[in-house]
Amino acid sequence: MGWNPGRGQLAALKAGLFALALVPMVQLVWRALAEALGANPVEAVQRSTGWWALFFLLATLAVTPLRRWTGLGWLPGWRRMLGLYAFFYAAAHFTTYAWLDVWFDPEAILKDVVKRPFITVGFAALVIMIPLALTSTRGMQRRLGRRWRSLHSAVYAAGILGVLHFWWLVKRDIREPLAFGAVLAVLLGARLLARRTAKGSPQAAPENK
């Protein structure tokens, strides 16, 4: 079903995507070196890395529903890379905070995490993503077997916490976090719907496939 590119085409496509996903980071570094990040460069870096972390997190979550809707069976082959990019930008996001905001003062970080709900949820999202990134290899997937799947369903929590983090940070104009939230709701809703149709009509299910 759908478009079925050959092995070589798929590899080229994936390499292209890999390069494309690096562009925001390359651009940031370039602009930082050229002192072209504007009046508040630190904030610009934090905003950009955070935005792209959320973007890739949602892109990761979009793979399964997209495959279901389009029938493109090779799409899941991109999921690990997209997820790792989400972690990459989230880690960069946290690093710029830890470095440029509090100069790696563990006490200050701890205080923020405990005291500020938006940092609490953002930090929680990052912590959740650490074991997911570490167990993203094929070997770990094999070794963990059934448990791998339940472990990696934590990505839903990371997505929700990530959107909350953005939502609670903005002052009044919530349009952007709202948009992220809406996309997340659609992606999670699609899963619930798929599960319900699979459970609710066991007779009809095989025919639907």
Partner 1 sequence: MIIRRPNDILPSEITSHSVYRRRREFLKQAGALGLIAASGSELALAQSPTATKLAAKPGRYSTTDKPTAYKYVTGYNNYYEFGTDKEDPAEYAGKMKTRPWTVVVDGEVKKPRSFGIEELLKLAPIEERIYRMRCVEAWSMVIPWSGFSLSELIRRVEPTGNAKYVSFSTAADRSSMHGLGLPVLEWPYAEGLRMDEAMHPLTILSLGLYGEILPNQNGAPVRLVVPWKYGFKSAKSLVRISFTEQQPKTAWNTAAAQEYGFYSNVNPEVDHPRWSQATERRIGEDGFLSQRRKTLMFNGYAEQVAGLYKGMDLKRQF
Q: How far is the CB of 176 from partner 1 (least distance, A)?
A: 10
Q: How far is the CB of 103 from partner 1 (least distance, A)?
A: 6
Q: How far is the CB of 97 from partner 1 (least distance, A)?
A: 12
Q: Which is nearer to partner 1, 49 or 60 (CB)?
A: 49
Would you put residue 8 in left (φ > 0), alpha (ψ -120 to 50) or beta? Answer: alpha
Interface residue list for partner 1 (CB under 8 A): 32, 38-43, 100-101, 103, 112, 116-118, 168-169, 171-173
Q: How far is the CB of 166 from partner 1 (least distance, A)?
A: 12
Q: Which is nearer to partner 1, 40 or 137 (CB)?
A: 40
Cβ burial of 69 (10 Å; 0-12, 13-18, 19+) is exposed
Question: What angle (nearest 5°) sits at the alpha carbon of residue 190, between those of residues 189 and 195?
Answer: 95
Where would I find the H helices in the chain? 7-33, 41-70, 79-96, 106-115, 117-134, 138-144, 146-152, 154-169, 175-200, 205-208
Q: Which is nearer to partner 1, 51 or 118 (CB)?
A: 118
Q: Which is nearer to partner 1, 174 or 188 (CB)?
A: 174
